Amino acid sequence: MKTASKLKAFLIIFFIAIFAVIAARYFIGLHFKKKFSARPAPGVIINKVEKSLFYKSIETFGTAIAQNSKVYRVQKDNIVGNINIENRFVKKGEIIIALKDGKNITADFEGKVGKREIAQGVLGSNSLIITLDDLKKIIIDIKVPENYVGILKPGLKAELINSAFNKTFKGKVESISSRIDPSTRSILARIIVDNSNFEIIPGQLMTVKVIYDEINQIGVPESAVTIQGDTAFVYIVNSGTAEKRNIEMGKRNFGKVSIISGINEGDVVISEGISKVRDKSKVKIINP
C-alpha cells in the first residue's frame, strides 16, 4: 500500500513538473513575441512620382571640323614685319600677312588664324603654313550602323561631350548620306554644333549622342524598382503604410525609369530602404 501511495505521489509530482515547464515555456514565448513584435517601423526615403523627359539614343564619336577652312602657304623671307597670328580673329577681306611682293594674304571669310611650321629638312621648309578656320559652327561627321537608317533624319537633336570640357554641347543632325558603306555596313550623318563661344577647336574627338523617340512620361528612381523574374514592382506610401504595386517599365534615362502603368503622377514611392519593407507594413519617412 505504501508503494502504491509513493508511486501515485511521484506521478503527480512528475506531471506537475511537466506542466510547469510547458507553462513556463509558453509564457516566456509570449514575452519575447511581444518584445520583438514591437519593433519600430523601418525608415525609408521617398520620392514623388513626376513627369520627366525620356528618350532613346545612338552613341558614337567623331572629329570636329570647322565649317569653313582655308590654308595659305607663304615664304618666311617674303613676310613684312612681325607675324601676328596666334589667337587672332580676322574679318573677311582683312590682311592676315603683308608680303614684300605686294601679294598680301587676305581673309576669304571671317575666322580664327593659326599657323603650322614645316619640319626642318623637308623640301620647302622655308615656307609657313597659315590656317584660317570659321569656328562659329563645328561640323562632325559620324558613322551610324545601318540598323538605325529608319530612325536617322535631319533635325534630330544631338548632345556632344569632350574630356576637355565640363559641359555638354548641343547640336542637330543636318544631313544623312544617301548610301550605306558596304565595307562597314554604316551610314554617314553630319552633325552641326553651335560653337559661338569658340570652345571647340578643329581636330578634337567628340563623343556624340543622337537623341530620338523622346517622350514626356512619369518616372521613378531606378532604386525604387524591384524586379523578380518577369515582374517589376514598387512600394508606394499611403498614410504611413507601404503598398506594393506591380508596374510596367519603359525607357531608362539619368538614373530614372519611365512607368507605363501601375502608378500615377503624384504618388509617393519608396526609393531607399526597400529591403526592410513588406506589403501593408508601417514605414517611417526619413527624407531630409
Same domain, 205 and 144: yes
Question: Which pLDDT band holds residue 248 (cuts at 50, 70, 90)?
Answer: very high
More confident residue, 30 or 78: 78
Same domain, 190 and 163: yes
Same domain, 189 and 142: yes
d(CA 108, CA 96): 10
Single-letter residue type at 3: T
End-of-domain residue from the set 156, 188, 214: 214
Same domain, 121 and 146: no
Strand, coil or helix: 70: strand
d(CA 137, CA 65): 9
Query: For residue 33, is pLDDT > 70?
Result: no
Per the structure, the count of domains in the chain is 3
Question: Which pLDDT band holds residue 128 (cuts at 50, 70, 90)?
Answer: confident
Same domain, 130 and 143: no
Q: What pLDDT does 252 receive?
A: 87
Residue 3 counted as domain residue: no
Q: Among 115-129, 136-150, 266-280, which is the least confidently predicted range?
A: 115-129
Residue 33 counted as domain residue: no
Strand, coil or helix: 229: coil
The number of beta carbons lying within 10 Å of the beta carbon of residue 241 is 14
Domain that holds residue 112: 69-135
Q: What pLDDT does 273 receive?
A: 86
Same domain, 239 and 281: yes
d(CA 99, CA 118): 19
Q: What pLDDT does 79 receive?
A: 82
d(CA 78, CA 103): 10
CATH number of the domain that 167 lies in?
2.40.30.170
Residue 105 counted as domain residue: yes
Same domain, 184 and 129: no
Same domain, 206 and 250: no
Q: What pLDDT does 37 receive?
A: 55
Same domain, 265 and 228: yes
d(CA 91, CA 179): 38
Q: Contact, 218 vs 50, CB < 8 A?
A: yes
CATH number of the domain that 281 lies in?
2.40.420.20
Residue 238 counted as domain residue: yes
**Dihedral pair phi/psi, residue 9, rounded to 5°:** -65, -40
**Using CA of residue 29, residue 34, residue 35, residue 39, what is the dihedral sign?**
positive
Same domain, 232 and 204: no
End-of-domain residue from the set 113, 135, 157: 135
What does the pLDDT average to over 27-38?
62
Same domain, 91 and 122: yes
User: What pLDDT digit, counting tens, does each position of 2-21 carry?
Assistant: 566 766 776 677 777 777 77
Residue 77 counted as domain residue: yes
Q: Contact, 253 vs 265, CB < 8 A?
A: no
Same domain, 247 and 202: no
- Pick from 132, 106, 129: nearest CA to 117: 129
End-of-domain residue from the set 119, 135, 151: 135
User: What pLDDT digit, counting tens, does each position of 190-240 carry?
Assistant: 999 999 889 999 999 999 999 999 989 999 999 999 998 889 999 999 988
d(CA 50, CA 220): 8
User: What is the maximum alpha-carbon separation in the chain?
Assistant: 149
User: What pLDDT digit, counting tens, does each position of 57-116 carry?
Assistant: 999 999 999 999 888 888 877 888 777 777 788 899 888 888 888 788 888 889 898 877
What does the pLDDT average to over 250-267?
90
Q: What pLDDT does 32 receive?
A: 60
Residue 14 counted as domain residue: no
Calculate what percentage of the chain has a pLDDT beyond 70: 89
